[in-house]
A and B are shown apart, each in its own frame.
Chain A
Amino acid sequence: MTVEDLIQKTDTLPPAPEVLPKLVKIMKDPDTDSNDIVQLISTDAAIMAGVLKLSNSGAYSPPSPVTDLNDAVAMLGIKEVYRIVNLVSSGDYLDGALPSMDIGKGSLWAHSLAVALIMDQIANDVCDMDGLPYTLGLLHDIGKLGLHLGCGEQYVDIFKKVETERLSLDKAENETLGFDHALAGSKMLEEWSFPEEVYMPIRYQYNPQEAPEEHRQLAGALHLANWGAAVIGCNDGRDSWALDMIEGAFEIDQSALEIAILNAREKLEHARQALNVGEN
């Protein structure tokens, strides 16, 4: 099976998200205002309900109850509402268990959220679009879902390689399947009409030095943030530490990174409680 075959298996893969790719494109536009965002979110009742629930949770503790989307934008700001929509939308894809990889229910979402929260602190300075690093963090492992659904049975052999040859997961996938979950995720996101600012850094997260220059820094930040999530224990699955660390993938001071990891852990707890990650 090629990665293209996998992407075309529409009976296997989940349907494309409607709101999120459009939202990312809207946020790229410097002329975007809150009405554009409210109008888009209003087209999806489930996302709207999720936004209101999270806006009223302890994660944000608004001074007065948020009763509609205009309230949410006014109280939290467009950028924060953007993050909430990302979080709510990605839950549909990431909350389930991936038994082929020993990833329990809610664990992939928690991991992705941890990566998003670290990205939000370390990578906004290297990107023009506020919120993009957060989106990348949430979606960076979407390819695992595609591979679990499309060829999960292959993971017996893949993990054998990881464990006997001490290969990182992406390398073991490449040797077994001919592609890895980063490429699969990138192709899924491209198919779902996300802009290249989203799918290219995800494509190169394990080999950022090979990314086109305009995507190299965000790919490098993802490389590091993925490891950072493991430091706070958000790396469930049989591949927990089957990571390859590339020195110099992203320039950051050690203490700045550790502070980002500590902050992410704190915020993660609030979000997990508010969203009941893994309990729906």
Chain B
Amino acid sequence: MSGAPTLPSLFQQRVVVGVGDLAVSNNANVNLSTFALGSCVGIIVYDKDAKVGGLIHIMLPDSTLSPDKAQKQPAMFADTGIPLMFRNLCGLKAERRRMKAFVAGGASVISGSDMFKIGERNIMAVKKLICTLGIQVVKADVGGVNNRTIHLNVGTGEVTLKTPLGTSKFSLA
């Protein structure tokens, strides 16, 4: 029957990760998604053997700005959110040496002086932390002037990246 949903797609669940939030899952029927990454940075991490994935939507680089807010919502900041996501992934039996990461976001204004450089500072903070953790970043789509939406299919490791310029798909498996 043309156009009918396939059986596996009927069981897919979407978990939407908001600004300053994170999610990890080992449920093969789950899609992790985050929308409208602007100057924020999103990181998708996947362990293909454990079939475990995570997604975080970071808003600012450094939690020293507001330790109270970092305590309430650690994923808001790169320095508190990223270690937490990795702890949660390891809690689901993912192993660092097998993890592959995709980084997206960090946009900035089209012209003039981006004096606060939040996008750029977010990208730098994320790269530094991921490097310290020894995670392999297999793809990055950062900077520029567009919002980005990213999805991870936890069952397959397939990542979808949507921008106003188009949609691309690739695998972290």
Contacts and interface: CB of A to CB of B under 8 A. Distances in A.
B109 A244 contact: yes
A241 B109 contact: yes
A142 interface: no
Given A230-B39, A232-B59, A233-B36, A242 B20 contact: no
Interface in B116-144: 116, 118
Contacts of B111: 166-168, 244-245
Contact of A258 (B19, B38, B60, B146): B60
B146 A241 contact: yes
Interface string A166-177: 111000000000
A262 B115 contact: no
B164 interface: yes
Contacts of B110: 162, 166-168, 241-244
A205 interface: no
Nearest to B116: A254
Interface residues of B, number: 29
B114 A245 contact: yes
A35 B124 CA distance: 54
B25 interface: no
Interface in A225-244: 227, 230-233, 235-236, 238, 240-244
Of A232, A233, A265, most buried by chain B (CB within 10 Å of CB) is A233
A167 B111 CA distance: 7
A81 B111 CA distance: 38
Given A231-B38, A236-B36, A241-B146, A262 B60 contact: yes
Given A230-B39, A259-B65, A245 B109 contact: yes
Given A162-B110, A246-B113, A265-B20, A258 B147 contact: no
A255 interface: yes
A162 B145 CA distance: 11
Interface string B19-58: 1100000000000000111111000000000000000000
A241 B37 CA distance: 11
Nearest to A230: B38
Interface residues on A, range: 20 to 34
Contacts of A29: none
Contacts of A166: 110-111, 145
Contact of A231 (B39, B69, B112, B164): B39
Contacts of B59: 231-232, 262, 265
Contacts of B38: 230-231, 233, 235, 240-241
Given A233-B35, A247-B115, A227 B164 contact: no
A19 interface: no
Nearest to B110: A242
Contact of B112 (A162, A246, A255, A257): A246
Interface in A160-215: 162, 166-168
A232 B107 CA distance: 12
B66 interface: yes
Contacts of B112: 168, 243-247
26 contacts: A168-B110, A168-B112, A231-B38, A231-B39, A231-B118, A233-B40, A235-B36, A240-B36, A240-B147, A241-B109, A241-B146, A242-B110, A243-B109, A244-B109, A244-B112, A245-B111, A245-B113, A245-B115, A246-B112, A258-B116, A259-B66, A262-B59, A262-B60, A262-B66, A265-B19, A265-B59
Q: Which 3 A-B pairs have the closest CB atoms?
A: A245-B112, A244-B112, A233-B36
Interface of B: 19-20, 35-40, 59-60, 65-66, 69, 76, 107-116, 118, 145-147, 164
Given A247-B112, A254-B116, A262-B60, 7 more contacts: A102-B164, A162-B110, A167-B110, A231-B40, A235-B147, A236-B36, A245-B112
Interface of A: 102, 162, 166-168, 227, 230-233, 235-236, 238, 240-247, 254-255, 257-259, 262, 265
